[in-house]
Structure 1
Amino acid sequence: MAIPGNFLSQVTESIDPNISGWTPLLNCALSRGSNGRNGDGVLTVKSVAAGEMRARTVSSYAVTPGTVYQTFADASGTIVERIGIRWLTAANAEVSITWSTATTVSSTSLHRVGVAGPAPATAARAQVVLSSTPAGAAVNHFWENVYLGLPIRTVGNLLPFGAESIEIDTSGWAVEANATLSRVSPTVQWPVNYYYGGGGALAVAAVANGNASARTVDRPVVTAGVEYAAYCYLSPPTTGSTAWLELRFYDATNTQISAIRSTLAPASTGFQRQRASGTAPAGAVSCGLHVGLDGATAGQILRVDQAVIALASVIQAGSVLPYADASFEQGVAGWAVASGVATLARSTPWGAQAVEGSYALAVSSSTATSSTIRSAKFRLPAGTGGLTFRLRYSENVTAGGWSVSRGVRWYDDANTDLGVTGNATAAAPTPGWWSLYRDHTAPSGATQAVVELILTATSTSSVINLDMVALWQALPLMSLLVQEESASIRLTLRELPLDDLLRVYRVTADGSRTLVRGPAGLYDGTGVISTEQVVIDDYEAPLLRPVYYLVEAINAATGAVTSRRQSGSATIPHPDINEVWLKDPSSPQRNLKVVVQKGGAPDWSRPVEQAVHRVAGRKNPVVLSGTRGGLEGELTVWTRSDEERAGLHWLLDTGGIILWQSAPGMGVDDLYVSVGQVNEARTEGTAMDPWRSWSLPLTVVDMPTTLGISGSAGRTWQDVLSEFPTWQAVLDTYATWEDVFLDRRIGA
């Protein structure tokens, strides 16, 4: 699979099916090897003699001075290696090379090597350079999965790229106590399609015995009352080390007002992702990420990669439980034993027990007796007394046996106990992880809730693990909302099965099915479900005709449909039959409604390629004809204001495919068209008359299947703030505000 945003072709990236994208630069010969992960091919770089050998991309790629670019690859061999970005002038003369640090050790397993840096002032183009230094001739080094492009960063990260990935240098971090900082390149075998873990890592080295720590330089802005999460990968010096991260909140005077610590329970000395989460307290205006070792020995090193501060993950849309109480990543949070002998602890070590994240809540009972455990008290949405709430959690019995009664205890604003709603006791299912649901009706006046579980061990020394606890108002699995102002239908899908593939059809009254478009293209059963709630805005639904939606979840391994849902019916109104919609399938921000001129419906033609051969002595010719083409014609419309005129220009500027929609009964179906040379003319009014007459030459084309809906999804002003230190840097990177909106950079 091609790496998103890669300047390199897929052949150059994956070394499949050949090495045509690569050429020797120094002391080497190239060939194609096998056993790669991004396709089978690998680039084999063989030394001609002892000393450094280098290979480079055949092509060079346009860059903008001052803009940061990133390169990485997966490599393996018996010697250490490095990767670089070779900067070139417009005349292809070398300016300099930005090198990664050499890997700390060699590894014959494919591991990530990477670096990033700004293009020099005189650079116009760039190449990727691969380097290693063998001690003799005929030494092989292997490379694949190569990327060159703009930095790949976590969407929504409040920290800048340099602090997140350590691919440039260590300037995004500062020493807090008893430490020195450096950038190292450990040999880490990240998954082939995981692009956030790069070659570089931050090394926090203890100067003397004692606690050692570091912090991010940036302190992103936060909003009091909003839940945030911080995470990074930590690689401790030993499995007995006390390695931690903290999410800290600061007030307007830069004074720390709270801190949430999360300590790693290491399963190894490799990289393990640790998380901390919490709600910004009153008075908080900024936050920071801190990492450290407690009780370190002088010289011990904590390595850090992919540092992120973002809005906390949503375990279940609408759940009243915060992330810490739902996923147990930093401890047992607000959970406690109300009665009985059970004990509560976070599971250990890292990754041993979890459905979400890396930990679960471990409940142990030394005797075959009942214990009641309760969560903290959580506020319900206003006005939800009398409504139905759904309780869900995942459980895994790892020792002995258990029976479970699950319920919700309700409270009013005065903290008066309104009683518990629950169900009969039943045996906890085994083996493995099970997801259990139960609906509960909140009593009148309920404003707070506590999750209450009665766990009965059926044998001594029993252990049960709990994870992904959620309590939310039970809403329909599917809902439709007609949005007349944009001639679209919003489809909301809830409680989708994670990691399945999603396919969504729009179905009309005659039974015709059409795949619905999303951010990555059509929902055709190839995209993975990563969140339990998905909102789809369907801008291509027809006008004045009822439609419904068929949604299928597909097992990614077997291809079998695991669940199927059908929505109710919805119709987009269209009050004026003289108006038509012109829509850009990939950029609905451009969609526009215009008036068709009287008699402005096209007179269609259907061209055909023909060769006419007139045979001597014969009356009729011999005609060789190709397949007759589709419809071609000219649509004439009016714009009625300067705003509509500017909007139509904006819609047509891209030169892309347009969807033309008109009311049923006007003799024209919904059509995807390509628009030729456009003529804009004044009407017969005065010079000040804003009306314009447009002639749009149309060629009917097929529905585009690869276009995704672009725009603001996943991109906010906070992303711009995190990436650029000044507004001048933004102006230097983008040609227009539309390019800022769509993240289309100069030279990209």
Structure 2
Amino acid sequence: MAIPGNLLSSTTEAVDPNTSGWTAKLNCTIALGSGGRNGDGCLTVRSVAAGEMQARTVSSYRVISGTVYETFADASGTVAERIGIRWLTSAGAEISVTWSLTTAAASASWHRVSVAASAPVGAARAQVLLSSTPAAGNVPHFWENVYLGLAWRTTGNLLTANAETSEVDTSAWAVETNATISRTVPAITWAVDAYQVGGHMLTLTAVANGNVSALGTERPAVMPGTEYAAYTYLSPPTSGITAWIELRFYDAGGTQLSATRGPLAAPGTGYYRQRVSAVAPAAAATCAIAVGMDSATAGQIMRVDNTVVGTPVPTARAGTILTYEATSFEQGVGGWSITSGAATVARSTPWGAYSVDGAYSLTVSSATATTSTLRSARFPLTPGAGVNWRTEWVSQVTAGGWTATRGVRWYDAANNSISLDATTSATVPTSGWWALTTDVVAPANATQAAIEWTLTATSTSSVLRMDVASLWPVLPLAAVAAHADTGSATLTLRELPVGYLLTVYRVGQDGARTLVRGTSGLLNKTPISSDLMVIEDYEAPLGVPVTYAVEIYTAASVLSATRSAGPVTIDAGDPNEAWLKDPGQPQRNLRVLVERAPDWSRPIQQSAYQVKGRRNAVILSGLRGGLEGDLSVWTRDDDERAALHWLLDTGDVLLWQAAPGMGVVDMYVNVGSVDEGRVSGYAPELWRTWKLPLTQADMPVSTGVGGSAGGTWQDVLSSFSTGTDVLAAYETGEDMLLDHRRG
């Protein structure tokens, strides 16, 4: 798999199918090995004699002085290793080398090594260096999955790349209590595509017996009333110690307003992602992340990696009014309580034992076969009265048995209980996780709501696990709307099962089905990553009704459900105008005024053979080609002219669409050499006439709808100190949107 943003070629990255991207630099030979994880191939670096051996990339890669770059690789060997970035001048002279710390111990399992640094003054090119130091000759070391490019960070993280991973240094963290801070490189096996983790890890060492903590030095801005979530990987020294992450909010003067802690219930001494979430208080202006461990012994260490803070991961239903804390139970019981009865509630333990989302669930236990009432905190209704609401819980019985009534309790603005809408009592399913839903309508004066279950244990020592609680206003499962101004249709799909597969067809009047394009290509059994999906279809025909057919498959490709939406008709507008669209970059789409439609030709490859003694030649023909012809259009001002140039710049396959009744059908085309001419000799005349040579093409299959891939202004703020730095990094606003930096 290609690593996104990699400056290295796919052959150099994966060492498949050969080692042409690599060369020996010091005391070694190289060869193609097998058993890699990013493809079968790997780079075998074998020592000639005892001592350090180095291999490097054959090519050097353009870099910009002052920009932070990262390199990483997966390694396997009998000695510890390190990786480096070799900085070169434009003439190829070495300026310096930035080396990672040496791995703490050798490991024959694939493990991640990495380092990041700012390109020094004068640096114009860079190479990747791979290094290890065997004690004898003929010792092999194995490398693959190599990356060189901009420093990796999680999209949407309010923190910088160095605060997230400490690949440059430890400057994004400061000692708060009883600790020293350093970096180490343990030999840990991460997933091959876990690009944000591994390599250098922030390491806290207890100075004396007692509590230990470190505080992030960065203070990203936050919005009061907005919910934020943070997570990090924690590796505690023992399973019995309490390690934690804390989300803190501060006012504009730097005074701490609140601190919410997510304690890790570690099952061992591995690496565990711990989450925490909280709503920013009314006066909050900034936030910070703290990590630590309680009751440590002097010399004990805890490692930290991949620290992120942002808005919560959208694992619950879109539009749910419950906070993430009350939904996923990552830091406690999230405001849920037993309002009557003998049952108790607690967060499940340890980490990863029982969960659907995250690593924990709510555990309801009853020592006696009695009835108890479980209720959430109250949440404001937006919208409120008269709206149909749906509540959902995912539950699992792990001991004994239960019956339950499932409902919603409504409250007015004065916090008075109005009513409880609940189902009749039913047995809670006892095998595996079950999603149980209830639909209710908010009464006239309701402004708040709480989820409420009345639970009856059918035997002593009954235990019920519950996770991913949601309460949201019910909207159509599939809805479609037309947009004449963009010549597109928007298909909205709700309550999709995450982890299943999705196929979406556009169905024409004749019943013909065409796959609809998504961000990674045509939506044909594409994995579902969110329960809400909004699909913008820029290839829908104009002026004729179409419907959408949706198929949902299990992960094993078994058809599970179908949906439909439509019909919908996109207004074709002025019949004298036509659309030219880039399927992969719809931001370039343009409506143009047609001067003359093409006169078509269909070329064919033929060879004529005149046989002696025969009157007629023998003609050998290939398959006749598609349509070819010149489309003549006008642009009416400088903006249209610039927009048409921008559309044509990429050379991509385009979709040409005209209004119904104009004698042409929607067609994918390649555009040849373009002629732009004036319509008169009057110099200030804005109109231009264009001749666009069209050649019919097949619909692009693998092209996805390009965009920002979730990028936000916060990503720009977290990556650049000043506006001048942004201007130096990007040539155009589109480059900034797509994170295409100079060089």
Q: Secondary structure at the match of 1:542?
A: coil
- The aligned residue for residue 463 of structure 2 is 463
Give runs of aligned pairs for residues 265-664 of structure 1, distance below 5 A: 265-314=265-314, 315-382=316-383, 384-525=384-525, 527-556=526-555, 558-597=556-595, 600-614=596-610, 619-664=615-660
Q: Deviations over 1:620-665 (max 9, x none)?
A: 4444433322211111112223322222222222222221110111
Q: Secondary structure at the match of 1:719?
A: helix
- The aligned residue for residue 701 of structure 2 is 705
Task: For residue 614 of structure 1, report the CA deviation from its aligned partner.
Answer: 4.5
Aligned AA (1:349): P
TM-score of the two chains, using structure 1 as the length reference = 0.96
Task: For residue 610 of structure 1, report the CA deviation from its aligned partner.
Answer: 3.3
- The aligned residue for residue 196 of structure 2 is 196
The 1:15/1:430 distance shift into structure 2, 3 A limit, reads farther
Task: For residue 415 of structure 1, report the CA deviation from its aligned partner.
Answer: 2.1
Q: Deviations over 1:104-139 (max 9, x none)?
A: 122222111111122223333222222111112222
Which shows bigger deviation, 476-485 or 670-679?
670-679
Q: Deviations over 1:177-213 (max 9, x none)?
A: 2222111111111111221113111012222222221
Task: For residue 340 of structure 1, report the CA deviation from its aligned partner.
Answer: 0.6
Which shows bigger deviation, 622-631 or 203-212?
622-631
Contact 2:5 2:150 in 1 (8 A): yes
Q: Deviations over 1:582-620 (max 9, x none)?
A: 1121222221112112xx011111223334445566544
Is it true that 1:238 corresponds to 2:234 in the alignment? no
Q: How far apart, CA to CA, are the structure 1 residues paired with 2:3 and 2:187? A: 21
Q: How far apart, CA to CA, are the structure 1 residues paired with 2:248 and 2:681? A: 65
Contact 1:343 1:364 in 2 (8 A): yes
Q: Deviations over 1:376-409 (max 9, x none)?
A: 0001113x32221111111111122222221110
Q: How far apart, CA to CA, are the structure 1 residues paired with 2:92 and 2:613? A: 65
Q: Secondary structure at the match of 1:647?
A: helix
Task: For residue 687 of structure 1, report the CA deviation from its aligned partner.
Answer: 4.2
Aligned AA (1:469): A
TM-score of the two chains, using structure 2 as the length reference = 0.97
Q: How far apart, CA to CA, are the structure 1 residues paired with 2:718 and 2:499? A: 30
Which shows bigger deviation, 612-621 or 464-473?
612-621
Task: For residue 477 of structure 1, report the CA deviation from its aligned partner.
Answer: 0.8
Contact 1:407 1:422 in 2 (8 A): yes
Aligned AA (1:588): P
Q: How far apart, CA to CA, are the structure 2 residues paired with 1:685 and 1:281? A: 66
Q: How far apart, CA to CA, are the structure 1 residues paired with 2:98 and 2:173? A: 20
Q: How far apart, CA to CA, are the structure 2 residues paired with 1:677 and 1:468? A: 56
- The aligned residue for residue 151 of structure 1 is 151
Q: How far apart, CA to CA, are the structure 2 residues paired with 1:385 and 1:325? A: 23
Contact 1:167 1:198 in 2 (8 A): no
Q: How far apart, CA to CA, are the structure 1 residues paired with 2:108 and 2:428? A: 45
The 1:3/1:501 distance shift into structure 2, 3 A limit, reads farther
Aligned AA (2:335): G
Contact 1:184 1:202 in 2 (8 A): yes
Q: How far apart, CA to CA, are the structure 1 residues paired with 2:87 and 2:561? A: 52
Aligned AA (1:40): D
Q: How far apart, CA to CA, are the structure 1 residues paired with 2:681 and 2:345? A: 80
- The aligned residue for residue 717 of structure 1 is 713
Task: For residue 141 of structure 1, report the CA deviation from its aligned partner.
Answer: 2.0
Q: How far apart, CA to CA, are the structure 2 residues paired with 1:225 and 1:5? A: 35
Q: Secondary structure at the match of 2:560?
A: strand
Q: Secondary structure at the match of 2:8?
A: coil
- The aligned residue for residue 171 of structure 1 is 171
- The aligned residue for residue 43 of structure 2 is 43
- The aligned residue for residue 742 of structure 2 is 746
Task: For residue 473 of structure 1, report the CA deviation from its aligned partner.
Answer: 0.9
Aligned AA (2:714): Q
Task: For residue 345 of structure 1, report the CA deviation from its aligned partner.
Answer: 0.8
Q: How far apart, CA to CA, are the structure 2 residues paired with 1:369 and 1:439? A: 27
Which shows bigger deviation, 260-269 or 547-556?
547-556
Contact 2:678 2:688 in 1 (8 A): yes
Q: Deviations over 1:69-98 (max 9, x none)?
A: 221112222221111122233333333222
Aligned AA (1:511): G
Q: How far apart, CA to CA, are the structure 2 residues paired with 1:646 and 1:192? A: 43
- Percent identity among equivalent residues? 59
- The aligned residue for residue 10 of structure 1 is 10
Q: Secondary structure at the match of 2:248?
A: strand
- The aligned residue for residue 105 of structure 1 is 105
RMSD: 1.8
Task: For residue 52 of structure 1, report the CA deviation from its aligned partner.
Answer: 1.2
Which shows bigger deviation, 43-52 or 304-313?
43-52
The 1:624/1:126 distance shift into structure 2, 3 A limit, reads farther
Contact 1:71 1:128 in 2 (8 A): yes
Aligned AA (1:128): V
The 1:112/1:118 distance shift into structure 2, 3 A limit, reads same
Q: Secondary structure at the match of 2:568?
A: coil
Aligned AA (1:351): G
Q: How far apart, CA to CA, are the structure 2 residues paired with 1:355 and 1:187? A: 29
For 2:666, which of 670, 682, 698 is the aligned residue? 670
Contact 2:578 2:659 in 1 (8 A): yes
Which shows bigger deviation, 172-181 or 158-167?
172-181
Task: For residue 669 of structure 1, report the CA deviation from its aligned partner.
Answer: 0.8
Q: How far apart, CA to CA, are the structure 2 residues paired with 1:260 and 1:534? A: 31
Say how many residue pairs are matched: 742
Which shows bigger deviation, 27-36 or 157-166?
27-36
- The aligned residue for residue 218 of structure 1 is 218
Q: Deviations over 1:208-232 (max 9, x none)?
A: 2222211222211111111111111
Task: For residue 7 of structure 1, report the CA deviation from its aligned partner.
Answer: 2.4
Contact 2:214 2:292 in 1 (8 A): yes
Which shows bigger deviation, 512-521 or 489-498?
512-521
Q: How far apart, CA to CA, are the structure 1 residues paired with 2:606 and 2:501? A: 46
Q: Deviations over 1:28-75 (max 9, x none)?
A: 233333333222333222222211122222333222222222211122
Aligned AA (2:72): F
Q: How far apart, CA to CA, are the structure 2 residues paired with 1:671 and 1:150? A: 39
Q: How far apart, CA to CA, are the structure 2 residues paired with 1:586 and 1:367? A: 61
Q: How far apart, CA to CA, are the structure 1 residues paired with 2:416 and 2:240? A: 46
The 1:194/1:554 distance shift into structure 2, 3 A limit, reads farther
Q: Deviations over 1:336-357 (max 9, x none)?
A: 1100111111111111111000
Q: How far apart, CA to CA, are the structure 1 residues paired with 2:35 and 2:501? A: 28
Structure 2 unaligned runs (5+)? none
Q: How far apart, CA to CA, are the structure 1 residues paired with 2:430 and 2:344? A: 21
Contact 2:484 2:573 in 1 (8 A): no
Task: For residue 322 of structure 1, report the CA deviation from its aligned partner.
Answer: 0.5
